[in-house]
Amino acid sequence: MRPFIYHRATSDSAALQTVIGGAAPRDQPPTSARAQFIAGGTTMLDLMKLDVMRPSEVIDINRIAGLDQVEKTPDGLRLGALARMADVARHPLLADYPVIAQSLTLAASPQLRNMATLGGNVLQRTRCTYFRDPSWKACNKRDPGSGCAALDGFNRSHAVLGVSDHCIATYPGDFAQALIALDALVEIRRQGGERVLAFADLHRKPGDRPDIETALAPDELIAAFRVPAAPWTRRSLYLKIRDRQSYEFALASAAVALDLAGDGAVRQARIALGGVATVPWRAREAEAALVGHKVADDVAQRAAEIAFRDAQPRRRNAFKVELGRRALQRALLETASLEI
Amino acid sequence: MSSAALSVAKEAAAETTPPSSAAERGGAPLANVSLEINGRTYPLALDPRTTLLDALREHVGLTGTKKGCDHGQCGACTVLVDGRRVLSCLTLALMADGESVTTIEGLAGPDGALHPMQQAFIDKDAFQCGYCTPGQIMSAVACVEEGHANTDAEIREYMSGNLCRCAAYPNIVAAINQAKHELKRA
Ligand SMILES: Cc1cc2nc3c(=O)[nH]c(=O)nc-3n(C[C@H](O)[C@H](O)[C@H](O)COP(=O)(O)OP(=O)(O)OC[C@H]3O[C@@H](n4cnc5c(N)ncnc54)[C@H](O)[C@@H]3O)c2cc1C
Ligand code: SF4
Ligand code: FES
Ligand code: FES
């Protein structure tokens, strides 16, 4: 690990002040900034040991008071960015949002969930092996313009949706799929102000700058996520398919929420797909295809086909197209049959 | 983790942070930190890079906590911080400043009597080489404490963050089942 200076912030304004001193220029990705935040540290320290992240100043935000709350608001739910995954997953208020609780419980391990924060979780970085190992020269995400070793390499775990010729790395997180499905918003603090962003606009597809992963500036701090209350949040679930039954990232996953009419026909559907895309992935056309229909085998299958219509598989990850479809199909059928 | 685990294993080998010179720290000053470990307070001056795991092993001399992967993937370094199980390899010692840490050395009673979970691991033969065992036991204590030891399936799920290369898994489940009853009685 490279040497760094450690700061402990006890207020968000102090954290912002410190980070501005070491911020990268605005057109540079926050992850290349000289000064960076550390929350749970489970992504940061891992990647600092691998020499992928190289901050020379680290700002510990864990002791900023008031950012770890889970609260009910007039509009829905507000989840503080410093709340720990384990605490949120078992919070009673999450009972009306099972897809969120499940996306958290099915992630990582009990120890990691005790440590990791919601803010850090959505900003976790890809598990692409070439990205994580700097002895590989070609990685546009780590070193812009160097190429992409995964295009023709070991790309079994890589994405089939939202890819570009510059990067096909999968966005690995689970919780983000629940957030994007439920139309969440992100509260962002910056020096002298605050802004609110649709969660769907937080992550950027790789395009020709895979190193710029989010719409956050280096001097912005995520304060909370807001999840609007809606008729579909209770009838929701997260289905995760992986190489082993637990403690593993998704090969394919689906976050599904449905609002059904009395006769079982879909009034509104919300679908997000994990493990298969470069960013948290909302499948809006598949949602539209469900409206007005009862969720039967053929209806679910058609929605799943639509969701993967634009998939661009590579040599070793073509199986993800079929796996992803079947995961979504099963998730739709299971969600429709939930007793709520 | 499968493929990634292999690729990090080689780098993880033995990077520790022993006492370093200012030059080696890139000019960063030593940082003062006070850790309460197993009920005793240790004031330390550390290179900011020092993980809680390295602080325990290299600076305090408590080598019961093990370094397996050093990347959050195996659970060998599990300790309790303020009663919660966490991975000491992905925690900076500075982040734990002022917090209370319990390691495997802190489980036995003052008279040396083993903790019921330690005794259960012996009774049920829940290890072979023993390298993962301190982490397994710390995790198991927390697993019971959290109320996640009700069925075998639940124990397996909530112990999934602790890998055992010797695959002592069935006996680990048996040990937790034995200890949970004794802990309930206690
Ligand atoms: C072995 C292993 C298995 C895992 N398995 C899974 C899994 O199955 N599913 C899954 O979803 N995740 C998984 N993870 C990833 C884990 O969930 C993330 O590492 C964790 O959620 C990151 O949160 P953190 O608080 O530790 O973030 P940190 O490591 O502290 O920070 C991560 C990034 O976010 C930035 N940051 C943190 N908080 C803020 C904030 N409030 N505002 C602005 N920037 C901020 C940091 O600067 C850094 O760039 C796994 C991790 C490991 C090590
Ligand atoms: S897929 Fe993206 S992260 Fe992986 S090697 Fe290619 S550019 Fe790097
Ligand atoms: S040493 Fe493997 S998880 Fe910490
Ligand atoms: S007993 Fe050998 S690794 Fe678990």
Domain residue spans of chain B: 28-106, 116-185
Q: How confident is the model at residue B3 (pLDDT cuts 50, 70, 90)?
A: very low
Structural domain spans, chain A:
5-62, 70-123+172-228, 236-336
Class for the domain spanning B28-106: alpha beta
For residues B145, B34, A117 and B156, what is the CA-based torsion angle, rounded to 10 degrees?
A: -30
Domain B116-185 belongs in CATH node 1.20.1630.10:
no
Using alpha carbons only, how large is chain B's radius of gyration in Å?
A: 17
- DSSP code string of B54-106: HIIIIII--TTS--SSSSSSS-TTEEEETTEEEEGGGSBGGGGTT-EEE-GGG
Q: pTM value?
A: 0.95
pLDDT digits (tens, 9 = 90+) for A26-83: 566 667 788 999 999 999 999 999 999 999 999 999 999 999 999 999 999 999 999 9
CB distance A7 to A57 below 8 Å: yes
Q: How confident is the model at residue A311 (pLDDT cuts 50, 70, 90)?
A: very high
Show the ligand 3 pocket: residues with CB < 6 angstroms.
B 67-70, 72-77, 87, 89
The residue type of A24 is A
Interface test with A, best of B30, B78, B87, B136 (most A CBs within 10 A): B87
Class for the domain spanning A70-123+172-228: alpha beta
The end-to-end CA distance of chain B, in Å, is 38
Q: What is the largest CA-CA distance in chain B?
A: 55
Class for the domain spanning A5-62: alpha beta
Locate B159 and state its tokens. 């112990």
Locate A288 and state its tokens. 């539209």
H or E element, residue B29: none
Closest CA in chain B for residue A128: B4
DSSP state for residue A243 in the 8-state scheme: S
Residue A235 has pLDDT above 60, yes or no: yes
Residue with CA closest to ligand 1 atom 43: A221
pLDDT digits (tens, 9 = 90+) for B31-54: 999 999 999 999 999 999 999 999
Locate A214 and state its tokens. 């989010």
pLDDT at B12: 40
Which is it for strands A281-282 and A266-274: parallel, antiparallel or unpaired?
antiparallel
pLDDT digits (tens, 9 = 90+) for B50-85: 999 999 999 999 999 999 999 999 999 999 999 999
Kindly report the backbone phi and psi dihedral angles of residue A308, in degrees, each rounded to the nearest multiple of 5, phi listed first.
-105, 15
Could you give the angle at the alpha carbon of A203 between the alpha carbons of A108 and A138, nearest 5°? 80
The Cα–Cα gap between B143 and B116 comes to 14
Neighbours of A195 (CB within 10 A): 10
Q: Cβ of A58 under 8 Å from any chain B Cβ? A: yes
Measure CB to CB from residue A129 to each of B4, B12, B78 and give the nearest one: B4
Locate B39 and state its tokens. 């009920």
The Cα–Cα gap between A135 and A147 comes to 14
Contact flag B70-A49 (C-beta cutoff 8 Å): yes
> Whose CA is closest to A114, among B89, B95, B87?
B87
Q: How far is CA B83 from CA A96, B35, B63, B86, B121, in A?
A: 29, 14, 20, 9, 21
| Mean pLDDT along residues B117-131 | 98
Residue B13 has pLDDT above 70, yes or no: no
Kindly report the backbone phi and psi dihedral angles of residue A102, in degrees, each rounded to the nearest multiple of 5, phi listed first.
-70, -40
pLDDT at A147: 98
The Cα–Cα gap between B162 and B140 comes to 9
Measure CB to CB from residue B49 to each of A3, A111, A127 and give the nearest one: A3
The Cα–Cα gap between B131 and B164 comes to 8
Verify whether ligand 4 is closer than 6 Å to residue B20 (CB atom): no
pLDDT digits (tens, 9 = 90+) for A127-168: 999 999 999 999 999 999 999 999 999 999 999 999 999 999
Question: A19 or B107: whose pLDDT is higher?
Answer: B107
User: What superfamily would CATH give domain A236-336?
Assistant: CO dehydrogenase flavoprotein, C-terminal domain (3.30.390.50)
Verify whether ligand 1 is closer than 6 Å to residue A105 (CB atom): no
The Cα–Cα gap between B101 and B37 comes to 5
Could you give the angle at the alpha carbon of A266 between the alpha carbons of A260 and A268, nearest 5°? 90
Residue A261 has pLDDT above 50, yes or no: yes
Residue B126 has pLDDT above 50, yes or no: yes
Beta bridge mates, B102: B80
pLDDT at A28: 67
Q: Which of A19-23, A30-34, A116-120, B3-7 has the lowest mean pLDDT?
A: B3-7
> Whose CA is closest to B5, among A50, A38, A143?
A50
pLDDT digits (tens, 9 = 90+) for B149-168: 999 999 999 999 999 999 99
